[in-house]
């Protein structure tokens, strides 16, 4: 059951766009962070069910944040959201432990389908 | 109907390719200058019909047009031509094939998706011939017809950059032959004129180049 | 300056943020597609946006490129509802590095024409593709279609003499979108500046509004 969602992106507009794609009637608890370092701190505090992570951020990049989070919680479910989907970048984040990569700009239907898949994964884990 | 008439009346070659690089349209200008009727090429793969198009630059350009919707340009200076059409001019031309300036751009459907690309082909043979003549006149001595000092400076620069790019040995051999005491035959000079002949060889694969400086 | 002209030149903070995110998406997509087209990894930095009066532009560009000392420039105008100028500035030596990068067979390169023409054409080709990628993706996100002039190229000039104030209208406002780029194979780097004209600004503000309304 997805309850807590953490969105890590340095662009407030990107965070707004992502939130708007997520269903409003599921009672999700949203948490946000503006850079990778803040994202790691929030993760430790909140322990979200899903983390949406941008890659190019100041202070600490998405790559570094994924590595840090996965190091402390191997079960972390991190979905990378990026405009740059070059194979090298995708491979790198998946090797670091990301769950999947989504391409910006996001579409509502795509997010719905991802949430169903994640829900399924979480239920199997339980 | 009006667009079809323009398509065939215009003094430019127009070819339309789909995303598989198959020829979809081949206008009248292309028929006339190629000697190939539209029926013979429409539906066929452009690279099979014209194997000389099968170059990294051409393929890269097609990809970028389909991906980004930008325009790509093929100048006569570097490419000479895209389509090998025999030169149709009866006036002296040193070019075996028509010299062409070409450009490529996107064509979109009603959903704004790029479904085709167009290539326009412009015959610039006449301009290229004049340009070539001007370059020759600029690089050769008017009296003797052999290369002048400007040519040597230009060639030296080019070959030096080529040496830097490929890291191959580079050397110059200059042999002086001095012939003093020749009067100018032009008639107006009263002074003593000295002619000195330089023989300059640029090595590697190019062979020798004779030039003259006075 | 009248009130209407003033209001079109002043972007709100939110409008700048929306434009920033759109640029981020456009350039990210460009980098991804560029890698496929020119078969080399391209890194495009998150673009930086600045709005300024046109006379300030040459000074701003010079300030950013002075570390290069010598530069090559590819300039291309684009027209749609979004219209303006794209200036791609390559670091010194990029032309020759690009020639090596794009030619699969060195022998083929050696038999090609004069090096300066080859360098010029290579800069023009890569510049055209890079500009087309960034401007094209930006236009696509804003539901616009642009056309382009053939690119102009200046090869290996001192940056002071290459960037002049000559042809910019001093009455106009420019939105300058600046990104660093790097081709990993060949170590080619530089800057891309997109300068949009005054006429585009009102349209752009409306287009930004329409874009974000999809997410409300």
pLDDT tens readout for residues B180-202: 444 444 344 344 344 444 444 44
C7 pLDDT exceeds 60?
Answer: no
Window 44-83 of A, Cβ < 8 Å to C: 56, 82-83
pLDDT at residue B89 in the model = 62
- pLDDT greater at residue C184 or residue C59: C59
Question: Which residue in A has a C-alpha nearest to residue C14's C-alpha?
Answer: A13
Question: Does the beta carbon of A90 lie under 8 angstroms from any beta carbon of chain C?
Answer: no
pLDDT at residue C106 in the model = 41
From the list B67, B112, B165, the residue facing C37 with the nearest CB is B67
- Closest-CA distance of chain C to residue A73, Å: 29
pLDDT at residue B36 in the model = 93
- pLDDT of C93-134, one tens digit each? 888 888 877 765 443 444 445 667 778 888 888 888 888 988
Q: Inter-chain contact B164–C96, Cβ cutoff 8 Å? A: yes
pLDDT at residue B49 in the model = 93
Selection from B84-98, B122-136, B182-196 with the highest mean pLDDT: B122-136
Question: Which residue in B has a C-alpha nearest to residue C33's C-alpha?
Answer: B67
Give the sign of the dihedral formed by CA B33, CA B37, CA B38, CA B40: negative
- pLDDT of B34-75, one tens digit each? 999 999 999 999 999 999 999 988 999 999 999 889 899 998
CATH number of the structural domain spanning residue C133: 3.40.1550.10
Residues of chain B with C-beta less than 8 angstroms from the C-beta of C114: 158
Taking the C-alpha atoms of residue C69 and residue C65, their distance in angstroms, rounded to an integer, is 7
Question: Which residue in B has a C-alpha nearest to residue C127's C-alpha?
Answer: B72
- Phi and psi, residue A27, nearest 5°: 70, 30
User: Which of B199-208, C110-119, C144-153, C206-215 is least confident?
Assistant: B199-208
pLDDT at residue A1 in the model = 80
- Structural domain span for residue C119: 3-213
At A26, the pLDDT band (50, 70, 90 cuts) reads confident
Residues B27, B7 contacting (CB under 8 angstroms): yes
Assign residue B69 a region (left: φ > 0; alpha: ψ between -120 and 50; beta: otherwise): left
Taking the C-alpha atoms of residue B147 and residue B58, their distance in angstroms, rounded to an integer, is 35
Taking the C-alpha atoms of residue A8 and residue C18, their distance in angstroms, rounded to an integer, is 17
Taking the C-alpha atoms of residue A18 and residue A59, their distance in angstroms, rounded to an integer, is 22
- Closest-CA distance of chain B to residue C117, Å: 7
Q: Encoding tokens for residue C111?
A: 């038999």
Window 40-59 of C, Cβ < 8 Å to A: 41-42, 44-46
CA dihedral C122, C43, C50, C77 (to 10 degrees): 30
Q: Average pLDDT of chain B? A: 79
Q: Inter-chain contact A11–C24, Cβ cutoff 8 Å? A: yes
Instruction: Determine the length of chain A.
Output: 126
CA dihedral C194, C199, C203, C208 (to 10 degrees): 30
Q: Average pLDDT of chain A? A: 91
Residues of chain C in Cβ contact (below 8 Å) with chain B: 30, 33, 36-38, 96, 99-100, 102-104, 106, 109-110, 112-118, 121, 124-125, 128-129, 131-133, 135-137, 139-140, 143, 145-148, 150-151
Taking the C-alpha atoms of residue B131 and residue B141, their distance in angstroms, rounded to an integer, is 17
- pLDDT greater at residue B175 or residue B196: B175
The answer to whether the bond into B190 is cis (omega within 30° of 0) is no
Residues C44, C177 contacting (CB under 8 angstroms): no
pLDDT at residue B182 in the model = 41
Domain total in chain C: 1
Of C73, C121, C86, C77, nearest to B75 (Cα)? C121
Q: Inter-chain contact A16–C215, Cβ cutoff 8 Å? A: yes
Global pTM reads: 0.76
pLDDT at residue C188 in the model = 81
What is the interface pTM, i.e. ipTM, of the complex? 0.85
pLDDT at residue A83 in the model = 84
- pLDDT > 90: what percent of chain A? 65
Residues C150, B73 contacting (CB under 8 angstroms): yes
Q: Encoding tokens for residue C140?
A: 């696509």
Of A84, A85, A77, nearest to A52 (Cα)? A77
The arithmetic mean of pLDDT across residues A21-29, rounded, is: 89
Q: Encoding tokens for residue C171?
A: 């009455």
Q: Token pair 């998405």 is at which residue?
A: A62
Question: Which residue in C has a C-alpha nearest to residue A86's C-alpha?
Answer: C32
Residues of chain C with C-beta less than 8 angstroms from the C-beta of B64: 37, 128-129, 132-133
- Report yes or no on chains C and B touching (3+ CB pairs under 8 A): yes
At A17, the pLDDT band (50, 70, 90 cuts) reads very high
Of B36, B35, B32, B29, nearest to B12 (Cα)? B29
The arithmetic mean of pLDDT across residues A93-107, rounded, is: 92
Taking the C-alpha atoms of residue A20 and residue C215, their distance in angstroms, rounded to an integer, is 5
B207 pLDDT exceeds 50?
Answer: no
Is residue B41 helix, strand or coil?
Answer: helix
pLDDT at residue A32 in the model = 96
Taking the C-alpha atoms of residue A67 and residue A47, their distance in angstroms, rounded to an integer, is 16
Q: Inter-chain contact C33–B105, Cβ cutoff 8 Å? A: no
At C64, the pLDDT band (50, 70, 90 cuts) reads confident
């Amino acid at each position: 059951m997805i309850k807590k969602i953490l969105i890590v992106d340095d662009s407030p507009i990107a965070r707004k766009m992502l939130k708007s794609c997520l269903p409003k009637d599921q009672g999700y608890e949203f948490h946000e962070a503006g850079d990778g370092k803040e994202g790691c701190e929030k993760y430790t505090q909140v322990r979200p069910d899903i983390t949406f992570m941008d890659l190019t951020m100041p202070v600490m990049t998405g790559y570094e944040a994924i590595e840090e989070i996965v190091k402390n919680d191997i079960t972390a479910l991190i979905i990378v959201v990026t405009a740059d989907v070059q194979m090298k970048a995708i491979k790198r984040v998946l090797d670091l432990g990301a769950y999947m990569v989504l391409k910006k700009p996001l579409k509502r239907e795509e997010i719905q389908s991802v949430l169903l898949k994640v829900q399924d994964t979480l239920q199997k884990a339980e | 109907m009006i667009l079809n008439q323009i398509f065939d009346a215009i003094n430019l070659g127009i070819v339309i390719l789909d995303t598989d690089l198959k020829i979809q349209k081949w206008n009248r200008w292309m028929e006339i200058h190629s000697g190939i009727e539209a029926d013979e090429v429409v539906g066929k793969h452009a690279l099979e019909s014209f194997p000389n198009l099968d170059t990294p630059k051409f393929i890269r350009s097609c990809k970028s047009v389909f991906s980004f919707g930008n325009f790509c340009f093929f100048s006569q200076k570097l490419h000479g031509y895209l389509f090998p059409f025999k030169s149709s001019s009866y006036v002296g031309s040193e070019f075996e094939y028509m010299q062409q300036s070409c450009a490529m751009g996107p064509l979109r459907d009603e959903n704004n998706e790029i479904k085709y690309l167009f290539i326009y082909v412009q015959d610039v043979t006449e301009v290229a011939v004049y340009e070539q003549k001007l370059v020759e006149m600029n690089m050769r001595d008017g009296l003797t017809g052999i290369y002048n000092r400007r040519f040597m400076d230009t060639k030296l620069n080019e070959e030096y950059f080529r040496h830097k790019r490929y890291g191959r040995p580079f050397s110059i051999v200059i042999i002086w032959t001095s012939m003093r005491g020749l009067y100018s035959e032009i008639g107006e000079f009263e002074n003593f004129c000295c002619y000195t002949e330089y023989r300059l060889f640029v090595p590697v694969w190019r062979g020798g180049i004779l030039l003259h400086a006075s | 300056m009248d009130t209407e002209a003033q209001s079109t030149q002043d972007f709100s903070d939110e409008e700048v943020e929306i434009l920033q995110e759109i640029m981020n998406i456009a350039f990210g997509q460009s980098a991804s597609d560029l890698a496929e087209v020119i078969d080399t990894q391209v890194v495009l930095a998150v673009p930086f946006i600045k709005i300024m009066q046109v006379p300030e532009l040459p000074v701003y560009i010079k300030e950013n490129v002075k570390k290069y000392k010598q530069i090559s420039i590819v300039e291309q105008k684009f027209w749609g509802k979004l219209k303006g100028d794209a200036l791609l500035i390559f670091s010194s030596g990029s032309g020759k590095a690009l020639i090596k990068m794009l030619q699969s067979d060195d022998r083929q390169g050696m038999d090609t024409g004069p090096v300066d023409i080859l360098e010029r054409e290579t800069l023009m080709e890569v510049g055209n593709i890079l500009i087309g990628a960034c401007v094209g993706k930006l236009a696509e996100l804003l539901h616009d279609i642009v056309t382009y002039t053939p690119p102009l190229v200046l090869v290996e000039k001192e940056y002071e003499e290459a960037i002049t104030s000559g042809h910019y209208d001093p009455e106009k406002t420019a939105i300058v979108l600046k990104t660093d780029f790097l081709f990993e194979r060949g170590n080619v780097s530089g800057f891309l500046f997109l300068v949009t004209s005054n006429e585009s600004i009102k349209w752009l503000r409306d287009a930004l509004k329409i874009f974000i309304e999809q997410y409300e």
